[in-house]
Amino acid sequence: MDSPIVLLGLPIALGIIMFGLGLDLTPQDFVRVGKRPKAAVVALACQLFLLPMVCFGLCLAFGLPPLLAVGMMLLAASPGGTTANLYSHLFRGDVALNISLTAINSVIAVFTLPIIVNLSVAYFQPGDMTVGLQFKKTLEVFLIVLVPVILGMTVRRMKPAFAKAMDKPVRLGSILILTVVILGAALSGREALMQHLGSLVAIVVLFCLLSLAIGFTVPRLLKIERSQAIASSFEVGLHNATLAIVIAQSVLQSPDMSLPGAIYGVLMFPIAAAFGWLITRRTSKAA
């Protein structure tokens, strides 16, 4: 996976997805968090603190090899994305809260993701990789995460009609790009994938279920209204697998590290749908 075309193509692919995310955002999405701070703060706390600890525990429990363990931690550190907005809409969540959280998470991840990856590399020590994302790598994360989002927001502000017209094509393109990225990641690390397929699938499924459950249960225990808890659940539970794959492949240049993100990118959709159906069904029965 050291081809210059691939190393250049992956960040461009992610840039298109993040640009599409920016087309959906406005400065008001950031301001809106101030109007509902409790729900946003709880969701962000789950995302930034609880999930990395849960994922770390799962990596130890499953005894993952170092590269795959760091790949799982990279996935846990990745923010949510537009998929969370879609699922929140389908299952009666507070979509406005999702959009706000996505906006905030995209900014925060530029700083928290390198920290979590550094700590993971320091603990698991995969091969000769003794240092994770240094300043240069952190700058690369900033460029491929935040800059396209800002460009998308700028286009929406200056050309709202164009941004609206591009919404559907960019979404469809994002799905196609995600599929290609996942297939590429699986092929590049196929030996490790075949060797650890069972444990990877098990830990990814469990991590996804726990992420969704934490995102829903913690807000409800803190008396946050149900629609906001549903929004939190999908924002916390559905990570940006493409971001995890691109950073593993292009920034850290480790195909094996991208495998958890590739498997997660496939399995998160049916798991999230089943989880959404379950909590909606419980609501209907309660009514």
Tell me the whole-structure pTM to 2 decimals: 0.77
Domain ranges of the chain: 4-280
What confidence tens digit (pLDDT) does each residue in 94-120 have? Answer: 877 887 887 788 778 888 888 888 889
What confidence tens digit (pLDDT) does each residue in 48-99 have? Answer: 999 999 999 999 999 999 989 999 999 999 887 667 877 887 888 887 788 7
Per residue in 92-104, is it b (16+ CB within 10 Å) or e — as a string? ebbbbbbbbbbbb
4-280: CATH topology: Na+/H+ antiporter like fold (1.20.1530)
Instruction: Measure the CA–CA gap between 266 and 223, rounded to whole angstroms.
Output: 33
